[in-house]
Amino acid sequence: MKAVAALFPALLALSGCVAVNAQVATSSCPAGETRQQVAELTFGRNIGQQVGVSQADFTRFLDEEVSPRFPDGLTVQESEGRWLYRGVLYREPGKVLMLILRQPGDRQKLADIAAAYERRYRQDAVLIRVRPECVLFHMARP
């Protein structure tokens, strides 16, 4: 995560370029879709060189830190990070959390989640990426 830590300030600064409003104009989305801010947070699971954040640990983190801030729902995917640092290739299992931002204070919630993870699991950084996307929740009808 050290290499990610070096990139984190630049990525965080770029994320500020996206509109703060959770829902923006829908003119560029197909009918029925809305343009919303979608956030992805990438969490490394290593502590040092070993996996230190178990599946149970991460589930507890979601229950205690993420779901109370975003009770409408979330998606989690497995990931594998790789980076080259001083000639050594590092690999790290991780999790990618996807959320739709709907409220003005949601960006601060992302920062709070990242800070809680960094403290709890002695991480150097959590990658936060926010971008506008066309969103549609397709609901099956009975």
pLDDT digits (tens, 9 = 90+) for 4-14: 444 444 344 33
DSSP 1-47: -HHHHHHHHHHHHHHTTS-SSSB---TTSPTT-EEEEEEEEEEE-EE
140 found inside a domain: no
Please give the pLDDT value at position 137: 86
Please give the pLDDT value at position 138: 85
Please give the pLDDT value at position 21: 45
Please give the pLDDT value at position 128: 98
6 found inside a domain: yes
Please give the pLDDT value at position 3: 46
pLDDT beneath 70: ranges in the chain: 1-27
Instruction: Determine the number of helices (DSSP H) and then strands (DSSP E) in the chain.
Output: 3, 6
142 found inside a domain: no
Predicted TM-score (pTM) of the model is: 0.77
CATH of the domain at 107: 3.30.70.120
pLDDT digits (tens, 9 = 90+) for 26-44: 468 999 999 999 999 999 9
53 found inside a domain: yes
Domain membership of residue 106 as a residue range? 2-135
Please give the pLDDT value at position 25: 46
Please give the pLDDT value at position 27: 60
141 found inside a domain: no
Structural domain count, the chain: 1
120 found inside a domain: yes
